[in-house]
Amino acid sequence: MPNLSIKDVPEPLAEALRQRAARNHRSLQGELMAIIESAAAEPQGRPETPIPARNLRYPPLRRGWKTTEQIVAEQDAEGIEFSPDAPTGTDIIRKERDSR
């Protein structure tokens, strides 16, 4: 099997890949293989998305997650209110499952 090598990977990108691998319960090698397989499986007719030159050296990384408390605080600050009669996530999933 051929080997591929990527040199001069910026440390923040390497760390993000290590964290992604851990979240997906894979080794770094396994995570990189999954990313490559996913990219190779994309339809051939799909146009390439241009990458701005400023992102070529240091691509943007998604960092962190919001806690439930942070999301609720943001919604409160924006004045978003939910109906008390709205179905819960469990109700929605149960209804969808039962309809099959």
pLDDT tens, residue by residue, 37-95:
888 887 776 556 555 555 556 555 666 778 888 888 888 888 877 788 888 889 999 99
Under 8 Å between Cβ of 2 and 50? no
In the chain, where the domains are located: 11-98
- The pTM of the full predicted model, rounded to 2 decimals, is 0.44
The model's pLDDT over 1-41, given as tens digits with 9 standing for 90+, comes to 888 888 889 999 999 999 999 999 999 999 999 999 888 88
Cα 9 off chain centre by: 20
> Which DSSP state fits 84?
T
At residue 76, the pLDDT reads 86
CA distance 27 to 82: 41
Asked whether 12 and 61 are in contact (CB, 8 A), the reply is: yes
What 8-state DSSP symbol labels residue 3? -
Q: For the chain, give me the number of helices (H) and strands (E)?
A: 5, 0
CA distance 59 to 56: 6
